[in-house]
Amino acid sequence: MDLLRISTAGSVDDGKSTLIGRLLYDNNALTKEQEELIEKKTAEKGLQDLDFSVITDGLIAEREQGITIDVAHIYFSTQDRKFIIADSPGHVEYTRNMVTGASNAEASIILIDARKGLLEQSYRHYFISQLLRLHTVVFCVNKMDLVNYDEDVFLKIAAEVKQMTAQFEHSTPEIQIIPISSLKGDNVVFPSGETSWYQGPTLNEVLHEISSKKEDEKPFRFEVQNVLHVQNEEFVDFRGYAGKVASGSIKKGDEVVVLPSGNKSTVKEIRKYDRTFDEANAGESIVLSLNDDIDASRGTVFSLPDEAPSSDKTLDATLVWLNEQKGVFGGRYQLQASSRTVQAKLQQIHYVVPPEKPSLKVDASELKLNDISRVSFKLAQPLFVDAYANNKANGAFIVIDTQTNNTVAVGFVE
């Protein structure tokens, strides 16, 4: 049974939360308590169709306003697959929460209201999926019941979608477009009796077919989270580096270079709890020991000598600004990539890109909430990152405001 992480996206009220509720309901994956809640709320509101959004809209404010504010993480499994779904808000004010949900996803479902077609948020959310380099994006043209399941409406929106996705240099490898009604259940889990003109798969089929893609060979990256010193009968002068293999793999005996010092040593031991291993791969949390006593502490990066990450003190990146407090040219921030933190100055704002027209480059002197921009930072120390396009696991960082300590932007290394 494999695991797929997906997130929802699209404009406010397009039906994302309703869709997730429907998906679980038709997969018979709701608990008794959830089913009772749906029935109770539906009756209270005097609705004809079941109100599925109550499953994911778990906050008082969300229920009051009838919108999603923050991401809900929903866990469910079918015979063949486990899913973690991040149901994200469509509201423009809460785009930061949509990015939060999408950043850990392998696939995104973008909803479009059949009556409205593509809206600003549809463009923005696709842009973000594109920046994240998600392997699969499924566009669901929702509320088909409100346009009499009209094929022409669907085809027109499908054409708009194709036009949008074609604007990007690196298009998403896998794109699907499906006509659905979340409320009535058409083409979500069960094929619709109303869309005989559509021969494609249901959303559920698509979600089961997406291959949770194995990443290609990546360079070895390991970062020290904690240094473990132990002195007892069993472990004499033990010094190990606890951390996660971000990408690639490492074998016992391999030579590694340790950054920033540039010192080299060989791997003496790869440990997980009370067992040792000959090899460790991406994603594993290990304790690594070296044959030489060299200087390494939290934030130190290990790589193979011939494929070390960039040690530039200038960092070019695409940023998505996530805070009301504007980003300013010349501003000082902290950048954090995994466990590493460096001081940085926003040295240049090259341009801002409007989501509807990614080829446009608009001059800007400040960064506003939700702005997508190309920038350069000057770094106090190198961050040892890779280009996001080459190595996702070591190519993203967050921008932290030094006064509020808030996470104000996410960056993708160019």
CB 17 → Mg ion: shortest distance, Å? Answer: 3
Residue in this structure with the two tokens 């309901």, named with its chain if needed: 25
Query: Rounded CA gap, 362 and 5, in Å?
Result: 34
CB 137 → ligand GTP: shortest distance, Å? Answer: 16
| Footprint of other proteins on 180-239 (CB under 8 A) | 212, 225-226, 228-230, 232, 234-235, 238
User: Under a CB-based contact definition with an 8 Å cutoff, are residues 83 and 110 in contact?
Assistant: no
Query: Does 115 help bind other proteins (rule: CB under 8 A)?
Result: no
Q: Report phi then psi at 91, rounded to 5.
A: -60, 135
Q: What is the token pair recorded at 154?
A: 């669907």
Q: Which helix (H) or strand (E) holds 162?
A: helix 151-166
Which residues contact Mg ion by CB under 5 A?
16-17, 68
Which residues contact ligand GTP by CB under 6 A?
12-18, 53, 67-68, 89-91, 142-143, 145-146, 181-183
CB contact burial 327-357 (16+ within 10 A = b; e otherwise): beeebebbbbbbebbbebebeebeebbbbee
Pick between residue 62 and residue 186 the one whose CB is nearest to other proteins. Answer: 62
Residue in this structure with the two tokens 């027209």, named with its chain if needed: 357
Identify what 143 binds: Mg ion, ligand GTP, other proteins, none; CB under 5 to 8 Å per kind: ligand GTP
User: Under a CB-based contact definition with an 8 Å cutoff, are residues 182 and 87 in contact?
Assistant: no
CB 192 → other proteins: shortest distance, Å? Answer: 27
Query: Does 390 help bind other proteins (rule: CB under 8 A)?
Result: no
Short-list 27, 137, 17, CA closest to 77: 27
Query: Rounded CA gap, 120 and 389, in Å?
Result: 25
For residue 180, the one-letter residue type is I
Single out the segment in contact with other proteins by CB under 8 A; choices: 29-37, 145-153, 160-168, 345-353. 29-37
Binding residue for other proteins, selected from 27, 165, 311, 336, defined by CB under 8 A: 336
Identify what 400 binds: Mg ion, other proteins, ligand GTP, none; CB under 5 to 8 Å per kind: other proteins
Pick between residue 53 and residue 122 the one whose CB is nearest to other proteins. Answer: 53
Query: At 17, is the secondary structure helix, strand, or coil?
Result: helix
Strands of the sheet containing 174-179, edge to edge, are 72-77, 81-87, 2-10, 107-113, 136-142, 174-179
Pick between residue 76 and residue 329 the one whose CB is nearest to Mg ion. Answer: 76
Binding residue for other proteins, selected from 69, 210, 257, 369, defined by CB under 8 A: 69
Q: What is the token pair recorded at 79?
A: 């015979």
CB 213 → other proteins: shortest distance, Å? Answer: 13
Interface contacts to other proteins, rule CB under 8 A: 1-3, 31-35, 37, 55-61, 69-75, 82, 84, 96-97, 99-100, 103-104, 212, 225-226, 228-230, 232, 234-235, 238, 240, 242-244, 272-274, 283-285, 287, 298, 322, 334, 336-339, 396-398, 400, 404-407, 410
